[in-house]
């Protein structure tokens, strides 16, 4: 019996807590001996996990090197890059999946026998383009990394149609679309009662302007409530939301629930809400996993006019779209909700859940990796 092929999954994130990475691990450990390299504990099913120490950061750019536009040493001297490159030195894998731009050069330099799949979780060159200083200094560095190394990967995937187009427009490679869809849940919509129960789960970040949704629910003329399940990314802002909730009979802020319990928790609600202001390029083109979490929980949605989210909301008939990202427009969208319309949205989410499930998206990665593995080694370019 021949040995199984080998795969490296490299990510500068805590892999065991990263929903997108866990999908890769779950699928490919079925056919490959998978080694992971990232922060935190080993994910289940891998043959080896190389733990990057927490003090080895992936974003500790040397400002002097950036000022001098010495982009090559600026990249290779990133702490996590230098550490992982040394830890992986001399190892050979059949194929590697490098998650996000910063990981791709390390994987490319390893020269896997059948190539590198670059999974790009966002459009990194414009990650913080709402910050003029960041845009002026760091965007050119990211563009260099993408042009010099990411474009030399053998296949690419990314999270939304707009980001697919942007990478092709600026760097010439065409990524395939793999959304952050949630795993299929074998469940059913719950009946819509009174009040209509809205919910939002995710990170507590001030630039997401979560207070807009809270204020819109609080001011709405129809009978609605809003429950938040928030991680404490910004404790002062989280406290502000808790203070607002304490003064409102309609808004409650909960601690986050583990991802494994999220679908069951969400299923008790009626509508998932996510009005994400387009403060930067990636927010403008965002297609967040929470939209798919809401679908798998068989909820309707209320969103702002974010083009990627609008496509799914309209195409599958699962919710209301606010005219803009203001409190007033969000309130108007909430006030359009009725028990009848919400029941229809939930039924449409139920009808679409299998098609929009994460398993369908993981099939795209599987097909890409199969293509890489089927190539003759003499055709590999490096």
Q: Are residues 234 and 365 both part of a single domain?
A: no
pLDDT for residue 207 is more than 50: yes
Tokens of 320: 């209301």
* DSSP code, position 165: H
Q: Are residues 242 and 371 both part of a single domain?
A: no
Our count of domains for the chain comes to 2
In a domain, 257, yes or no: yes
Which residue's structure tokens are 């059913």?
Answer: 188
In this prediction, residue 378 has a pLDDT band, given cuts at 50, 70 and 90, of very low
Q: Are residues 140 and 202 both part of a single domain?
A: no
Instruction: Tell me if residue 174 falls in helix, strand or coil.
Output: coil
Domain range for 333 is: 196-352
In this prediction, residue 382 has a pLDDT band, given cuts at 50, 70 and 90, of very low
Tell me the pTM.
0.86
Residue from 295, 297, 283, 296 nearest 319 by CA? 295
Q: Are residues 269 and 167 both part of a single domain?
A: no
Q: Are residues 100 and 244 both part of a single domain?
A: no
Q: Are 250 and 219 in contact (CB under 8 A)?
A: no
In a domain, 152, yes or no: yes
In a domain, 206, yes or no: yes
pLDDT for residue 141 is more than 90: yes
pLDDT for residue 266 is more than 90: yes
Q: In the prediction, which pLDDT does 258 show? A: 87
The CA distance from 150 to 116, in Å, is 10
Q: In the prediction, which pLDDT does 133 show? A: 96
Q: Are residues 217 and 164 both part of a single domain?
A: no
Long-range contacts of 278-284 (CB under 8 A, 24+ apart): 278/306, 278/325, 279/130, 279/207, 280/126, 280/127, 280/128, 280/129, 280/130, 281/123, 281/126, 281/129, 281/166, 282/122, 282/123, 282/126, 282/127, 282/163, 283/207, 284/162
Q: Are residues 284 and 233 both part of a single domain?
A: yes
In this prediction, residue 245 has a pLDDT band, given cuts at 50, 70 and 90, of very high
Q: Are residues 370 and 296 both part of a single domain?
A: no
| Dihedral pair phi/psi, residue 343, rounded to 5° | -60, -40
| Residue 48: Cβ within 10 Å count | 13
Q: What pLDDT, in 10s, does the model give residues 5-50?
A: 999 999 999 999 888 999 999 999 999 999 999 999 999 999 999 9
* DSSP code, position 281: H
Q: Are residues 58 and 141 both part of a single domain?
A: yes
Q: In the prediction, which pLDDT does 2 show? A: 55
| Dihedral pair phi/psi, residue 41, rounded to 5° | -75, 170
Q: Are residues 167 and 222 both part of a single domain?
A: no
Tokens of 380: 């590999």
pLDDT for residue 58 is more than 70: yes
Q: Alpha helices of the chain — where are they, by DSSP H?
A: 19-28, 63-67, 71-76, 79-87, 104-110, 132-148, 161-171, 210-219, 235-246, 259-266, 281-284, 289-296, 307-316, 327-335, 339-352, 358-374
In a domain, 249, yes or no: yes
The CA distance from 246 to 243, in Å, is 5
Q: Are residues 83 and 105 both part of a single domain?
A: yes
In a domain, 256, yes or no: yes
**% of the chain exceeding 90 in pLDDT:** 95
In a domain, 159, yes or no: yes
Q: In the prediction, which pLDDT does 376 show? A: 62
In a domain, 48, yes or no: yes
CATH number of domain containing 91? 3.40.50.2000
CA atoms within 13 A on the CB side of 97: 31
Q: What pLDDT, in 10s, does the model give residues 73-109?
A: 999 999 999 999 999 999 999 999 999 999 999 999 9
In a domain, 189, yes or no: no
The CA distance from 110 to 294, in Å, is 39
- Mean pLDDT of the region 351-365: 95
Q: Are residues 26 and 173 both part of a single domain?
A: yes
- Mean pLDDT of the region 358-378: 89
């Amino acid at each position: 019996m021949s040995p199984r092929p080998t795969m490296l999954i490299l990510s500068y994130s805590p892999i065991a807590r990263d929903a997108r990475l866990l999908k890769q691990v779950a699928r490919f450990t079925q056919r490959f001996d998978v080694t992971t390299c990232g922060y935190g504990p080993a994910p289940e099913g891998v043959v080896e996990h190389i733990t990057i120490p927490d003090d080895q950061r992936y974003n500790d750019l040397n400002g002097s090197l950036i000022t001098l536009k010495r982009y090559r040493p600026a990249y290779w001297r990133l702490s996590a890059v230098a550490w992982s490159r040394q830890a992986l030195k001399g190892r050979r894998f059949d194929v590697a999946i490098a998650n996000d731009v910063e990981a791709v050069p390390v994987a490319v330099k390893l020269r896997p026998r059948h190539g590198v799949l670059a999974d790009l979780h966002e459009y990194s060159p414009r990650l913080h383009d709402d910050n003029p200083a960041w845009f002026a200094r760091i965007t050119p560095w990211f563009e260099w990394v993408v042009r010099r190394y990411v474009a030399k990967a053998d296949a690419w995937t990314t999270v939304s149609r707009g980001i697919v187009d942007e990478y092709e427009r600026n760097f010439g490679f065409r990524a395939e679309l793999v959304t952050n869809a949630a795993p299929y849940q074998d469940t059913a919509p719950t009946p819509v009662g009174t009040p209509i129960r809205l919910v939002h789960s995710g990170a507590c970040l001030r630039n997401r302007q979560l207070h807009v949704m809270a204020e819109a629910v609080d001011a709405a003329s129809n009978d609605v409530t809003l429950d938040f399940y928030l991680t404490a990314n910004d404790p002062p802002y989280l406290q502000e939301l808790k203070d607002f909730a304490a003064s409102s009979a309609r808004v409650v802020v909960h601690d986050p629930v583990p991802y494994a319990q999220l679908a069951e928790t969400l299923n008790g609600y009626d509508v998932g809400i996510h009005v994400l202001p387009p403060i930067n390029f990636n927010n403008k083109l965002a297609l967040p996993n929470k939209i798919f979490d809401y679908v798998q929980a068989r909820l309707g949605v209320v969103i702002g006019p974010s083009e990627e989210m609008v496509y799914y909301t309209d195409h599958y008939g699962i919710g209301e779209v606010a005219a803009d990202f203001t409190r007033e427009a969000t309130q108007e969208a909430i006030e359009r909700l009725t028990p009848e319309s919400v029941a229809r949205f939930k039924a449409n989410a139920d009808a679409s859940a299998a098609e929009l499930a994460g398993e369908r998206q993981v099939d795209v990665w599987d097909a890409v990796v199969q293509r890489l593995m089927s190539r003759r080694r003499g055709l590999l370019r490096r």
